[in-house]
Structure 1
Amino acid sequence: MPSDAASRRTYSYLGPAGTFTEAALEQVPEARGQIWRPVHNVGEALADVAEGRSDAAMIAIENSIDGGVSTAQDALARIPNLRIVGEYLVPVSFVLVGKPGQRLEDVQLVSAHPVAYAQCHRWLVEHLPGHQHVPAASNVASAVGILDGSSSAEAAIAPPGITAHHHVDVLAENIGDNTNAVTRFVLVTGPGVPPAPTGADKTSVIVELPEDRAGTLLELLEQFSTRGINLSLIQSRPIGDALGRYRFVIDADGHIRDERMADALMGLRRFSPNVVYLGSYPRADRAIVHYSNRYSDEVFVEARDWVRGLLSGEPDA
């Protein structure tokens, strides 16, 4: 009889406990009561899935302030056979913490994850104009480092929930430069059947341009625009094999089971030397995707049936 641990699913996430990634994983109902595996970076989390150590990984993919997370996008392009099955939004706010007894006016070195540091830079310049930045692996690791002595910093930028896990003093609250900051996370698994369409779906792909010439990006975008598909994200990333060679990370409104989306993906496959299908999954905001009736499934099906009729010699209706 299998042990309880053997029957439970494993989820990798950027640890340790208390990170924003953990807050995203807490939104996944099927992850509750399962094994949560903290890792050091996005690449490790995705490798866990690809190599079978975990059933799924939660990773940050986009921030409303800094845009797409390049390390996550590059890892998804590089590691094969990964699928996004859901997305989750986490409001982002920060506190500045120190060891018990630390005074704000004595802070010279601030430990922070680079993304968190960028989102708090204006506050830091105003309140700690002479400070220096010490990079940290995560928003929680920044605080752990000042407690265990592995960091030379006197203060750390961390999530508000840090006090539930570590004995630190809060030196300042709400230090983020944008109170509306949100990070988008995605849950990634191995290959499988996409979740059923909900009407409020998103499809993610990574597409390479076939050659560096005028009009190729327009041709790529026309695969979507001529089928009435809206793009909510398009971001270029260098392929890395030569200057001027790029791949594009794209989020498109709709599901692969939508006739117009399937047709667009076939167009991309004909156009590009390398298309990575990352998945079709429910939008975090559950906003219904609206489109013109001329792009409905019925229109695409009727057009295909019409061509089949022509090929079979059927008379006009």
Structure 2
Amino acid sequence: MTVVAFLGPVGTFTEAAVFAFAKDKLFTAVELLPVANPAAAAQAVRAGAADYAVLAIENSIDGAVTQSFDALAEGGVQIRAEVDLPIAFSVMVTPGHTGKILKFSSHPVGYQQIKGWVAQHYPEAEFVPASSNAAAAEMVAKGLVDAAAAPHRAAEIWGLETIAEGVADRKDSRTRFVAISKPAISPRTGADRTSVVFTLPNAPGTLVRALNEFASRGVDLSRIESRPTRKEFGQYSFSVDLIGHLEDAPVAAALAALQAQAETITYLGSWPRVTAETTI
């Protein structure tokens, strides 16, 4: 039995990603471990309470999921695989609800993907953030809010009535999820992605020189983000995804050169990148 931690409760899009990874045979015979946030999911792996954790890391509309990147930057885990899922919401209420929608809930990242729809249909509604979209559905069931946007499965779990389906401001919205485990390098496939987090001396030109280590070797960066180190005001770490595997000679050489310049560097894994869209 493979224990997989994910942002709970059951009925989240992250749970759907767990099932997608299982469908792809990354793991089988799954025991679900719902947790409160991405940091708790990563910590469950570090502590040995879970074999894997699944995290949402990037949405095509709202960008990076910063909580997940912060959890990965703590180290002790590595990314083993990714999956790319379409995201569309169901809007749900308690059965027979006929009153006004004055309090509307979802996860803040999810809300960014539907706020235009909410403004059009429920202009009086106050947004109440939830720890996950499924938790927003639970809030409806408990009478804490009037409506929620969540995966359709959440309505089934909490006995709610769905009043709108396929809700999204952009119909092509997608989210990339990753599966993480304790450090282990996934085999090279020739269509891979590698991720590292690093900090640099606070001096002019250090970031340019660091990035040039990739450019000069023809290594393509597919993402770069800066995040506060949370150690001292004004200090930042840089998180980058690059196309290629650690065992590719140009990637290995670029990372070795980067390590010589960086104050710290955390390797987050090399894994097969998504080359075709997954559906749920």
| TM, length-normalised to structure 1 | 0.83
Higher mean C-alpha displacement, 250-259 vs 217-226: 217-226
- In structure 2, the partner of 1:311 is none
| Cα shift at 1:138 | 0.8
Corresponding position: 1:91 with 2:86: yes
**Which residue of structure 1 aligns with residue 31 of structure 2?**
35
Q: Which runs of 5+ in 2 are unaligned?
A: none
Shift in alpha-carbon separation, 1:30–1:280, aligned structure 2, 3 A: closer
Partner of 2:201: 210
Task: Give the drift of 1:166.
Answer: 2.8
User: Secondary structure of the residue that 2:96 maps to in structure 1?
Assistant: coil
Letter aligned with residue 85 of structure 2: V
Q: Which residue does the alignment assign to 2:174?
A: 182
**Contact 1:200–1:286 (CA under 8 A) maintained in structure 2:** no
Query: What is the aligned partner in structure 2 of residue 145 from structure 1?
Result: 139
2:151 match: 159
1:112 aligns with 2:106: yes
| Partner deviation per Cα, 1:224-272 (whole Å, 9 max, x = no partner) | 1011000110011111233331111100000000011110110111010
Answer 1 or 2: higher relative contact order, Cα 8 Å, separation at least 6.
Answer: 2
**Is the radius of gyration larger for structure 1 or structure 2?**
1
Q: Say whether residues 1:70 and 2:66 are aligned partners.
A: yes
Instruction: Tell me which amino acid in the other structure corresponds to 1:190.
Output: K
Give the Cα–Cα distance (whole angstroms) in 2 for the partners of residues 60 and 273 of structure 1.
28
Distance 2:161 2:188 in 1: 47
Instruction: Write the distance in 1 (CA, Å) between the matches of 2:48 and 2:214.
Output: 34
Q: Which moved more, 1:133-142 or 1:24-33?
A: 24-33
Moved over 6 A (4+): none
Q: How many residues align?
A: 274
* Structure with the bigger percentage of strand: 2
Q: Counterpart in 2 of 1:100?
A: 95
Question: Secondary structure at 2:69's aligned position in 1?
Answer: helix
State how 1:210-249 maps to structure 2 within 5 Å. Answer: 210-211=201-202, 213-249=203-239
Q: What's the C-alpha RMSD, in Å, of the aligned pairs?
A: 1.5
Q: SS at 2:153's partner residue?
A: helix
TM-score, normalised to structure 2, is 0.94
User: Percent sequence identity over matched residues?
Assistant: 38
- Higher helix proportion, which one? 1
Report deviation, 1:286.
5.9
Alignment of 1:52-67 (within 5 A): 52-67=48-63
